[in-house]
Amino acid sequence: MDHKEHIDHIRNFSIIAHIDHGKSTLADRMIEKTGLVAERDMKEQYLDNMDLERERGITIKLQTTRLVYKSQSGEEYIFNLIDTPGHVDFNYEVSRSLAACEGAVLVVDATQGVEAQTLANVYLALDEDLEILPVLNKIDLASARPDETKEEIEEMIGLDCENAPLISAKTGQGVDELLERVITDIPAPKGDPDAPLKALIFDSKYDNYLGVIIYARIFDGRVKKGDIIRMMSTGAKYEVTEVGYCAPGLVPTNELFAGEVGYICGSIKQVADARVGDTVTLDQRPCAEALPGYKKVQSMVYCGIYPAEGEKYEAVKDALEKLQVNDAAFRFEPETSQALGYGFRCGFLGLLHMEIIVERLEREFDLAVITTSPSVIYKVVKTDGEVIMLQNPSNLPKPQEIDHIEEPMVKADIMIPNDYVGAIMDLCQKRRGTMLKMEYLTPTRVLLHYDLPLNEVIYDFFDALKSKTRGYGSLEYEFDRYQKSNLVKLDIMLNRDLVDAFSMIVHESNAYQRGRFVCEKLKEVIPMHQFEVPIQAAIGQKIIARETIRAYRKDVIAKCYGGDISRKKKLLEKQKEGKKRMRQFGTVEVPQEAFTAVLKYDENK
């Protein structure tokens, strides 16, 4: 088979969908239908291979797989199914995965219709000029309304849905037809195998034995073991130690050609050296220019991560290093907190990314950590003209040294059923949003375009949106600009000692409310002490809110006879256990959950 004929039988595509619309289930079904994994080995959602992903029903790390499909015409095709992460935090990674494809299967839940994320992903796919094959899923459910959903897709996205396959990824209904449609509707890749190597990194991960595994789409040229490759963004060079296909386990091969998708290893030490979106070429015979679209990812949200009582700083550092090796978007550096001691300031793509990293520290490394209030990066312009990009609220210069502070603003697209417009406009207004545009996508479905401060979005905005729309609302946002704003630092004092880990930067108009909220929350979660504990919120020297935890008055076992001290001892042991989960700030003991409790901010309470 010559190269042309070979790549004519390749289809590179992604499945794009809103969370829960059945992307992973469909991928499972395709894998099963092509016989890659025996049915008995099928785990639910085969491609989501972290426990965390399976639990949360989202894809965090990409997983790519090569399927061999025998078509109804009898010819064999190679399907490279490139999975995409499923959350707004990972948009850039999604766009790079899509750039590796010729087409995308757009899965829309026929019971739910089009959601904001569906739209966002479609736009990303259209940006990459992908052929989009719409598919209506969950057709087996009684509540499915395929005709309405088709209309919606046509109206909102402008895709012709007349022949859209109706499937049930769960039962497998319609999946055979879909596989055939992948062949007919999605174009075969193009590319010159004899041109200089031009390969797109759409994912990379670290492996203890192989070093970094680069997942790449070869656009032009070819690559084999022994080649010296060069990363076009950094110029770094590596000798290729292995190439192969992902099936989804690594299957070594001699050479990867234009049009193919596979992996490349070259003893690369960390994923940051093989960044998603970068172009790989050959050092000896480089291509003229890199593929478009490479961006160095920016952390949007920062927080402090500190070893919990009794945990070792070094152990946390080791774990963060290991996570970083595999996550180019995660960054950290040492910092110290008066309250928490030695720890790390960590940067994330968004809150979900942050939660995932923290959960992985806890689960995979069995470490207990304390995270401080997440913060965006503020641009602080000092009176002397110096500009500070402030990641940690407690490092804010003195008020007299500050000329002004700017905060990051995002453009947010919020899609909701029209019943909830009032509630969401109210929410956005409380979060200092400005509505830019309201679009009726269909008579019952509204797309709100908002200009919102990122710092309002990270405080539980997504959860509030979900709860106010009974789960039907969806959100997309991206960074837009920095904007001058009236921001103040809110400090929290426990028993008159400032606890820097609780400091946060808030808009002046929200400061009182936020201060009250934090004091109330802390009153709920901090246990009584043998003395009264005042909790105060302050801006500078000014106390704006106060609560008091009363001293406990009685905690005694009156009767201690009959010589049965085992029960008494158990009770005391339980108390001691509870104490261990506390963090000592000055004289006050604070439970770990206090740090997350103060983030659960709901303005309706």
Contact residues for other proteins (CB under 8 A)? 530-531, 552-566, 568-569, 571-573, 575-576, 579, 587
Structure tokens at 444: 């019952």
Closest distance between other proteins and the C-beta of residue 524, in Å?
Answer: 19
- Kind and range of the H or E element at 461? helix 461-468
Name the minimum Å distance from CB 522 to other proteins.
20
Q: Judged by CB, which is closer to other proteins: 369, or 533?
A: 533
Residue nearer to other proteins on the CB measure, 209 or 561: 561
| Contact present, 455 and 504 (Cβ < 8 Å) | no
From the CB of 568, what's the least distance to other proteins, in Å? 7
Q: Minimum Å distance from CB 317 to other proteins? A: 25
* Sole residue written with tokens 């909790």: 535
Instruction: Please name which of 543, 566, 560, 435 lies closest in space to residue 496, comparing C-alpha atoms.
Output: 543
Amino acid letter, 13 = F
- Supply angle C-alpha 564, 567, 570, rounded to 5: 140
Q: Which is nearer to other proteins, 434 or 587 (CB)?
A: 587
Listed residue (488, 533, 527) closest to 511, CA to CA: 488
Q: Are 198 and 291 in contact (CB under 8 A)?
A: yes
Nearer of residues 76 and 564 to other proteins, judged by Cβ = 564
Q: Which is nearer to other proteins, 2 or 577 (CB)?
A: 577
Q: Which is nearer to other proteins, 249 or 310 (CB)?
A: 310
CB atoms within 10 A of CB 63: 24
**CB nearer other proteins, residue 400 or residue 566:** 566
Considering the complex, state which of residue 470 and residue 569 has its C-beta at the smaller distance from other proteins: 569
Shortest spacing between CB 343 and other proteins, in angstroms: 21
DSSP, residue by residue, 207-238:
ETTTEEEEEEEEEESEEETTPEEEETTT--EE
Nearer to other proteins, 439 or 532 (CB): 532
Bridge-partner residues for 437, per DSSP?
449
Residue 167 backbone phi and psi in degrees, to 5: -130, 165
Nearest to 79 by CA among 213, 184, 199, 182: 182
What are the tokens at 290? 């890199």
Q: Where are the alpha helices (DSSP H) in 57-137?
A: 91-99, 116-127
Smallest gap from Cβ 571 to other proteins, in A, equals 7
Distance CA 4, CA 191 (A): 9
Structure tokens at 381: 């312009």
Q: In whole angstroms, how close is the CB of 339 to other proteins at the nearest point?
A: 18
Cβ closest to other proteins, residue 542 vs residue 553: 553
Rounded-to-integer distance, Cα 206 and Cα 212, Å: 4
Number of helices (H) and strands (E) in the chain: give both, helices first. 15, 32
CA–CA gap between residue 18 and residue 59 (Å, rounded): 11
Token digits of residue 152? 């919606």
> Nearer Cβ to other proteins, position 292 or 578?
578
CB of 565 to other proteins, least distance (A): 6
DSSP 257-290: ETT-EEEEE-----GGGS-TT-EEEESSS--SSP
Shortest CB 203 distance to other proteins, Å: 47
Shortest reach from residue 496's CB to other proteins, in Å = 15
- The least CB distance from residue 533 to other proteins, in Å, is 12
We find the least distance from the C-beta atom of residue 554 to other proteins, in angstroms, to be: 4
Structural contact between residues 490 and 518, judged by C-beta atoms closer than 8 angstroms: yes
Burial class (CB in 10 A: 0-12, 13-18, 19+), 560: exposed
Asked if 250 and 215 touch (Cβ cutoff 8 Å), the reply is: no
Residues 300 and 330 sit within 8 Å (Cβ to Cβ): no
Compare residues 530 and 604 and give the one whose CB is closer to other proteins. Answer: 530
Q: To the nearest whole angstrom, how small is the minimum distance from the Cβ of residue 555 to other proteins?
A: 4
Q: Which is nearer to other proteins, 532 or 602 (CB)?
A: 532
State how far the Cα of 445 lies from the Cα of 441, in Å rounded to an integer.
Answer: 6
